[in-house]
Chains A and B, each alone.
Chain A
Amino acid sequence: MLSKIILIVVLFAITLGIAAYLTLVERKVAAWLQDRIGPDRAGPWGILQPLADAGKMFFKEDFIPTNADKWLFILGPGIAMFTALLTGSVIPWGPDLELFGTKIPLQVADVNIGILFIMGIVSIGVYGIMIGGWASNNKYSLYGAIRASSQMISYELAMGISVITIVMMTGSLSIRDIVDQQHGFWQDGWFSWNVFKQPLAFLIFLVTALAECNRAPFDLPECESELIGGYHTEYGSMKLGFYLFAEYVNMFISSAVISALFFGGYNFPGMDAFSGNTLAILGTLVFFGKTFFFIFVFMWIRWTLPRFRYDQLMHLGWKKLIPISMINLLVTGVVIALTSGWFTKSPKSIETVPAAKKEVVREPKQLSMYNAKHEQ
């Protein structure tokens, strides 16, 4: 119990700290890609810049427009931040750590529907933007909110279908199981990471993750050249800070989810040479390394690609990504059915095949679920 509380507090601090420093990293990456120097006034290489920014945000006037819906105006940024932070609880950050004779799993909650939990929280995340944009009582804010919600609903579908293919291959909704199944780097004559088994699903997931985070080239809800500031036009002070901060937290969490689902999470080549706490610490470092790489990819894309037009965005979402992910799902299903011999067996034995197969797969899983339950 105590270990869980410590884990939650540490996770909370790490997430917020990383999100704060991502603002600096983003500006540095942008400067690098544009051949500039970037912020370098506050401290050496500008490492105190996030603190200065936060201080500025806090000392600004906390303003609520006269015609705004007061409570919903305050609620908006709160929901955005809350949902952004909530997702981190089901991500396995590393192999089990062993301290003082007890096993400590580096995961706040190993719920057996982990990946669905993430999808659920992502789908609630849109409320923060919608409520904030509507409550501002400003047409640009409303446009931003409406754009955000239709974009997020559209891209959620493709994201969900690409996740289903991973779930079909793993046979479990728990993220811990999904990560454990990608053990090492090479297994049964093929790469064990899901990105090599489902490259198309990975591509779709990456694109939809960009859209769900409202990052360029999908940043239409807040595009400056059309909507002033989009849904946060009327916001100032730390409320604006919450919206901007939530975006960076979302970016960090979705990078973590991408590396857990597709890039083996805390697994790395040659991990069998280590064991115990060394493995736990190395695995966690590897996981964070992969996460930071994807954060860099997010920033790289933002400063490379121009913004979509809105009809192009909808066209890509509904007419390209969803059909492609459907075909991917179908092919995956056929391949799974073929490799487990559903078409080659006689009709009578087919009836028993799913049950027999389930028995084999189920035994260790139930055991691990049992263990997880008793550890808590």
Chain B
Amino acid sequence: MIFWLLGGLTIGTALMVVLSKHPVRSVLFLVLTFFMITANYVLMNAQFIAIVNIIVYAGAIMVLFLFVLMLLNLNKTNEPKGSILMTFGAVIAAGGLLTVLVAAIRDAVLAPTMIDANSENAGLVENLGELLFTKYVLPFEVSSILFIAAMVGAVLLAKRDKQTQE
């Protein structure tokens, strides 16, 4: 019951992200969508993932999004008009993504054996940490290296810009 309500709200807010005319409102609806996803995590007893979702996405990344949008101060008068070709391209890309997603979900095994969502400590920090540092230690470390590479790259790009300006 709660799941269906939450699911509906999640999809509703996600739709509002796309349908809002104003970019700032879109971002705010996206923040709301993240909150709905967090509520879904809490429903699955995954408290740690839920709160990390809020801290990282709603608290840091979306603040930066909003920050940039506020500085740009976009509004209707200076918004570039998209050409017909762009619209076609966007439709085809979105359709392709939809096809891939539907195909992926269709083949997925939706058996409850994947996670026992009803067990009391499915998402506790202890269990998560133990899995992350034993069974999934390689993907975990690889993704850390990926993040560091991205950070170093960003710093490098910012530095080079400054040097050429001088």
Q: Is A173 an interface residue (CB 8 A)?
A: yes
Are the CB atoms of A112 and B59 closer together than 8 Å? no
Number of chain B residues close to chain A: CB under 8 A: 23
B141 close to chain A: CB less than 8 A: no
Looking at the assembled complex, report how far the CB atom of B30 sits from the nearest CB atom of chain A, in whole angstroms: 12
Within 8 A of A (CB), among B92-151: 120, 124-126
Question: Are A113 and B125 in contact, with the CB atoms below 8 A?
Answer: yes
**Partner pick for B59 among A123, A131, A173, CB 8 A cutoff:** A123
Residue of A nearest to B31 (CB): A127
Interchain CB contact (< 8 A) of B28 among A122, A126, A131, A373: A131
How many Å from the CB of B120 to the closest CB on chain A?
7
Distance from A23 Cβ to chain B, minimum over Cβ atoms (Å): 28
Query: 8 Å CB contacts to A: which residues of B45-89?
Result: 47-48, 51-52, 54-55, 58-60, 63-64, 66-67, 70-71
Q: Is the CB of A281 closer than 8 A to any CB of chain B?
A: no
> Is there a chain A Cβ closer than 8 Å to B24's Cβ?
yes
Give the chain A neighbours of B28 by CB distance below 8 A.
72, 131
Partner pick for A146 among B31, B54, B67, B120, CB 8 A cutoff? B67
Q: Is B67's CB under 8 angstroms from A113's CB? A: no
Chain A residue with the shortest CB-CB distance to B130: A358
| Number of residue pairs A-B, CB distance < 8 angstroms | 64
| Contact assessment for B48 and A130 in the assembled complex, using a CB-CB cutoff below 8 Å | no
> Cβ of A134 < 8 Å from any Cβ of B?
yes
Quick check: is A238 within 8 A (CB to CB) of the other chain? Answer: no
Asked whether A120 lies within 8 Å of B126 as measured between CB atoms, the reply is no
Instruction: Bits for A47-84, please: 1 = Cβ < 8 Å to B, else 0.
Output: 00000000000000000000000001000000000000
Interface of A is mostly: helix
Check B51 against A113 for contact (C-beta < 8 Å). yes
A150 within 8 A of B: yes
A142 touches which of B25, B47, B63, B70 (Cβ 8 Å): B70
**Smallest beta-carbon distance B165→chain A, Å:** 18
The complex places the Cα of A204 from the Cα of B140 at a distance, in Å, of: 29
**A116 and B66 contact, Cβ closer than 8 Å, known pairs A173-B125, A362-B126, A373-B120:** no
Are B58 and A145 neighbours in the complex by a CB distance under 8 Å? Answer: no
A149 at the interface (CB under 8 A from B): yes
Q: How far is the CA of A123 from the CA of B58 in the complex (A)?
A: 8
Chain B CB within 10 Å — which of A113, A142, A145 has the most? A113
A119 to B126 CA separation, bound complex (whole angstroms)? 19
Binary A-proximity of B35-49 (CB < 8 A = 1, otherwise 0): 000000000000110
Return 7 A-B CB contacts under 8 Å, by A number. Answer: A113-B48, A116-B55, A123-B54, A134-B70, A156-B59, A358-B126, A362-B126
Residues of A that sit less than 8 Å from B by CB:
72, 111-113, 116-117, 119-120, 122-124, 126-127, 130-131, 134, 142, 145-146, 149-150, 153, 156, 173, 358, 362, 373
